[in-house]
C-alpha cells in the first residue's frame, strides 16, 4: 500500500532507550518496534497539551492523497527544545518519522521532524 | 499487510545487531552528562530552583511508569487490585479509552510520590515556614512545613498528603501522611491505601544535582517498604509552565 515508509535501525535503537519511558500516556496504541517515515504537506499544526499534533496530506505510491496525523511530546517540552507555535506552518512540506499504530491506521507517534530545508527540529526525546 | 513490512523486519534485525552497542554508548554518554566534571558546591539548606528528574541508565526502562525494576512486595489486598487495574503506561499498557488510571481517567492529582513520575519539572520555593514544591504537572503544589509543627492529630485525607520537614545535616527529610486512597503509587497500577506513609530525603549533592531517597510504607498495601532513589538536575534556564490535565480528554479520540 505505501512504499513511502521506511525504517531506520539506528533511530529505533536510540529511541527505544530515550523516549519510550516518557509520555503522558502509554504505548498501547503504537508498535514501538517499528519506525515509519512519511513526507507530506502540513494541513494542521496544533501546539497543544498534552501532545502537539501535526496533520498532513501525503501521497501514496499511486498518487492518492492520504491524511496522516502525528502526535509529538508536550508543547512544554518542545518549547524547551526551541519550538514555538509557529515552528511549523500550514503548507510546509515536512518529513516525519516515528512509531506506527498497531492497527495500521495513518497515525504516527512522531520521533523525528525534518523541514524541507533539511533542518531537523529536536523533538525532546529523553529531554 | 503493508509493503514496508519487509523493510521493517530487516531494520529490526539491524536494531538487534546494533542496539546493544548503542545502549552501551548511550549509557556512557548519559553517565558522563549526569555527573559534570565541575559543579559548584551546594548552597546550604537551599533547594530553590527548577529541577528535572533524570533517569539513570539502569532506570530508563522503567522510570517512566514505576520506581524499581522488580516492583513492590504487595499484600494480597493490593495485589488483587493491581491485577485488575488497567494502566496506560508500563508493561501492561492499555489505550486511553480503556485505562482506569485515576490520573488519566479523572484528572485526579497524582499523589505523592507518583507526581514525580509525571514527566515534567518542578520548582522549589523556600520560606522560613515552609518549602513549597510547584510541580508543572497540572499545577500541583505541595506545602512542606519546616516550622516544627507536627502532623495534625486528626488529619484530613488528601491526594498529596500532609508534609512536614526538617533538616538533618544537609538533607531535608520530609515526612508525609494523611493520604486518601483514590490514587495509585505509580503509573503501572500499584496500589496504596489511606495508611500510606512516605519519607523523602532530599540531598543536594552539589549545586546542579539532587538525590531524593524515597521510602513508601503502607501496612495494608505493601508487605515491606518500597524504596527508591530519584535523581534531579538543576535547570537554571527553565521556567515552570502551564500544563492542564483537562486537555488530555481530547486525546482519547485521537487513538484509533
Establish if B130 belongs to a structural domain.
yes
Domain count of the fold of chain B: 1
Residue B139 has pLDDT above 50, yes or no: yes
Coil, strand or helix: which one is B11?
Answer: helix
Asked if residue B66 lies in contact with residue B117, where contact means CB atoms within 8 angstroms, the answer is yes
State residue A27's pLDDT score.
74
Q: Average pLDDT for residues A99-123, to the nearest whole number? A: 94
The interface residues of chain B toward chain A in range 60-119, judged by CB-CB distance below 8 A, are: 60-65, 87-90, 93-96, 98-99, 104, 118-119
What separation in angstroms does the CA of B36 have from each of A81, B22, B40, B202?
A: 21, 22, 10, 20
Structural domain including B80 reads 49-251
Closest Cβ opposite residue A20 in set B64, B238, B247: B64
Establish if B256 belongs to a structural domain.
no
Cβ contact, residue pair B8, A9, below 8 Å: no
* Spatial CA neighbour of B184 closest among B114, B97, B79: B114
Establish if B5 belongs to a structural domain.
no
In the numeric block, the cell 522560613 is attached to B128
CB contact, 8 Å: B129 with chain A? no
pLDDT band at residue A17 using 50, 70 and 90 as cut-offs: very low
Domains in chain A (CATH in brackets) are: 9-121 (2.40.50.140)
Report the CATH number at residue B204: 2.40.128.20
Asked if residue B149 lies in contact with residue B179, where contact means CB atoms within 8 angstroms, the answer is no
pLDDT band at residue B35 using 50, 70 and 90 as cut-offs: low
Q: Is A38 left (phi over 0), alpha (psi -120 to 50) or beta?
A: beta
Establish if B239 belongs to a structural domain.
yes
Torsion sign across C-alpha atoms B106, B111, B113, B118: positive
ipTM score for this prediction: 0.75
Establish if B12 belongs to a structural domain.
no
pTM (2 d.p.) = 0.81
What is the per-residue pLDDT across B159-178, written as a single tens digit (0 to 9) for each? 999 999 999 999 999 999 99
Establish if B37 belongs to a structural domain.
no
The interface residues of chain A toward chain B in range 25-54, judged by CB-CB distance below 8 A, are: 25-29, 33-36, 48-51, 53
Establish if B33 belongs to a structural domain.
no
Amino acid at each position: 500500500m505505501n512504499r513511502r515508509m521506511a525504517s531506520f535501525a539506528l533511530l529505533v535503537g536510540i529511541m527505544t532507550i530515550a523516549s519510550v519511558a516518557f509520555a503522558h500516556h502509554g504505548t498501547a496504541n503504537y508498535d514501538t518496534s517499528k519506525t515509519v517515515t512519511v513526507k507530506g504537506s502540513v494541513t494542521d499544526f496544533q501546539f497543544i497539551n498534552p501532545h502537539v499534533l501535526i496533520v498532513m496530506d501525503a501521497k501514496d505510491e499511486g498518487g492518492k492523497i492520504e491524511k496522516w496525523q502525528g502526535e509529538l511530546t508536550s508543547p512544554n517540552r518542545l518549547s524547551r527544545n526551541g519550538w514555538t507555535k509557529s515552528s511549523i506552518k500550514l503548507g510546509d512540506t515536512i518529513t516525519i518519522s516515528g512509531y506506527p499504530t498497531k492497527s495500521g491506521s495513518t497515525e504516527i507517534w512522531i520521533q523525528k521532524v525534518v523541514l524541507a530545508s533539511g533542518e531537523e527540529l529536536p523533538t525532546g526525546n529523553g529531554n | 499487510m503493508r509493503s514496508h513490512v519487509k523493510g521493517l523486519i530487516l531494520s529490526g534485525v539491524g536494531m538487534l545487531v546494533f542496539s546493544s552497542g548503542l545502549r552501551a554508548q548511550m549509557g556512557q554518554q548519559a553517565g558522563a552528562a549526569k555527573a559534570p566534571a565541575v559543579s559548584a558546591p551546594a548552597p546550604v539548606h537551599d533547594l530553590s530552583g527548577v529541577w528535572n528528574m533524570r533517569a539513570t541508565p539502569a532506570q530508563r526502562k522503567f522510570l517512566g511508569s514505576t520506581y524499581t525494576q522488580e516492583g513492590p512486595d504487595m499484600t494480597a489486598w493490593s495485589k488483587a487490585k493491581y491485577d485488575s487495574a488497567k494502566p496506560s503506561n508500563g508493561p501492561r499498557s492499555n489505550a486511553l479509552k480503556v485505562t482506569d488510571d485515576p490520573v488519566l481517567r479523572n484528572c485526579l492529582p497524582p499523589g505523592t510520590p507518583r507526581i514525580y513520575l509525571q514527566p515534567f519539572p518542578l520548582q522549589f520555593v523556600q520560606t522560613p515556614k515552609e518549602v513549597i514544591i510547584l510541580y508543572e504537572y497540572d499545577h500541583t503544589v505541595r506545602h512542606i512545613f519546616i516550622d516544627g509543627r507536627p502532623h495534625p492529630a486528626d488529619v484530613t485525607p488528601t491526594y498529596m498528603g500532609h508534609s512536614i520537614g526538617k533538616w538533618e545535616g544537609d538533607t531535608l527529610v520530609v515526612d508525609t501522611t494523611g493520604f486518601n486512597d483514590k490514587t495509585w503509587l505509580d503509573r503501572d497500577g500499584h496500589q496504596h491505601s489511606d495508611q500510606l506513609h512516605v519519607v523523602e530525603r532530599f540531598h543536594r549533592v552539589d549545586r546542579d544535582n539532587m538525590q531524593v531517597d524515597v521510602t513508601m510504607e503502607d501496612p495494608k498495601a505493601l508487605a515491606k517498604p518500597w524504596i527508591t532513589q530519584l535523581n534531579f538536575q538543576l535547570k537554571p534556564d527553565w521556567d515552570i509552565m502551564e500544563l492542564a490535565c483537562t486537555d488530555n480528554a481530547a486525546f482519547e479520540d485521537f487513538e484509533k
